[in-house]
Amino acid sequence: MTPTQLRAFAAVVRLGSVKLAAAELEVSEAAVSLHIGQLRKELGDRLFTRTASGLAFTPGGLRLASRAAELLSLQERTIIEVGQAAQGRRLLRMAASSMFAEHAAPGLIGLFTGRAADLDVELSVHDPRRFGGLLHSRTVDVAIGPNPGNVDGTLSCKPFLNYQIVVVCGPEHPLAGRDVGPHQLRDQTWLLGPAAATDVGVVPTMLRRLNVPEERQQIYQSNSAALEEARRGSGVAAAISFAVAQDLSNGRLVRMSGQSLRFDGGWVTLTLPERDAPPAAAELVRFVTNPRATQAMLRGPGVNVGRFRPSIHITLWS
């Protein structure tokens, strides 16, 4: 596959017509059809057929449409990054677990990049079980989150911050202010962030220890969304203690008490061995143990939009 072929196919998908795609790309319809034909031959898939109501895409065509947009975006971003590198700019690619990315990464990135005017950080969220593969393939330079447990001896793993998970609910919840046991918690609706969807980390461990049925677990796109539902009294939520400290102090959330309701977790940095890791990654590993870095992660002051570069690809289908 070539970028030219993908660009032609992406235009056909977006516009729904070979003719319109050719006009937008300023080439002939025959040229667009040639590129589509080459893709069909290479992939062994018709990709789409013409019907009376327009183009009908095959499942493979829909998958390629998503990938084409992603690959073309990656190509454009790479061109920009190469130009920046030629001008002396550096890029640090960071993989993070969902909980670290939401609650601690903004403060860390803001403070870390503030020390180096030539450094940009690209953050992407992944299941911690993928950290090793991402590092070995050099897709990312450093990974931060819970210890995935499948780390081989070729990677450097360094713990740097411990935290506590607490169970909270809204002030109007029937169990607010009461001592509760595991049997009562099992019957509640649990409002959870993406961390609950993996098998690694303190939240999945907590749910297994409490034996919370899967049908009682509602997973939201972010921990903040889950906590907002908890404030409304829709259920109980698991949260990092420092992330809900203000809500607990002003009464918007109530910490549930009872035996076995304290769960401790920790984050680690993972990199290739220091001789193979990019200098910026090794610098970050040293930096995260700094007291100022710890305070920045706990307080989360945020980061300037020009310095924060999340890697996000979205495809919408009507």
CATH 3.40.190.290 fits 94-304, yes or no: yes
Mean pLDDT of 299-315: 49
Mean pLDDT of 77-99: 77
H or E stretch at 161: strand 156-169
What is the rounded CA–CA span in Å between residue 310 and residue 172? 37
Indicate whether 114 pLDDT > 60.
Answer: yes
What is the rounded CA–CA span in Å between residue 91 and residue 76? 15
**What pLDDT does residue 192 have?**
94
Indicate whether 240 pLDDT > 90.
Answer: yes
pTM (two decimals): 0.68
250-295 residue pLDDT tens = 999 999 887 667 789 999 999 998 788 888 899 999 999 999 999 9
- How many residues appear in the chain? 318
What is the rounded CA–CA span in Å between residue 50 and residue 34? 16
**What pLDDT does residue 104 have?**
93
**What pLDDT does residue 54 have?**
81
What is the rounded CA–CA span in Å between residue 224 and residue 105? 15
What is the rounded CA–CA span in Å between residue 177 and residue 130? 40
**What pLDDT does residue 179 have?**
84
pLDDT tier for residue 318 given thresholds of 50, 70 and 90 = very low
Residue 160: C-alpha distances to residues 99, 136, 182, 286 (Å): 15, 22, 31, 10
Q: How far is CA 1 from the centre of its chain?
A: 28
Percent of the chain with pLDDT over 90: 53
What is the rounded CA–CA span in Å between residue 91 and residue 229? 37
**What pLDDT does residue 37 have?**
93
**What pLDDT does residue 177 have?**
81
**What pLDDT does residue 188 have?**
92
Report which of residues 306 and 51 the model is more confident about: 51
Sorted by where each begins, the domain ranges of the chain are 3-84, 94-304
143-198 residue pLDDT tens = 999 999 878 888 999 999 999 999 999 999 998 888 888 888 888 999 999 999 88
pLDDT tier for residue 303 given thresholds of 50, 70 and 90 = very low
Query: Which range (40-49, 112-121, 190-199) has the least confidence?
Result: 112-121
What is the rounded CA–CA span in Å between residue 1 and residue 45? 13
**What pLDDT does residue 315 have?**
42
**What pLDDT does residue 256 have?**
87
47-77: burial string, b at 16+ Cβ within 10 Å, e else = bbeeeeeebebeeebeebbebbbebeeeeee
**What is the assigned CATH class of domain 3-84?**
mainly alpha
Side chain identity, residue 87: Q
Q: What angle do CA 26, 31, 35 make, to 5 degrees?
A: 115
Fill in the DSSP letter of residue 125.
E
Indicate whether 229 pLDDT > 90.
Answer: yes
Angle between helices 18-25 and 3-15 (to 10 degrees): 120
Identical fold between 3-84 and 94-304: no
pLDDT tier for residue 244 given thresholds of 50, 70 and 90 = very high
**What pLDDT does residue 87 have?**
65
**What pLDDT does residue 247 have?**
93
Mean pLDDT for the chain?
86
At a CB cut-off of 8 Å and minimum separation 6, what does 279 contact?
A: none
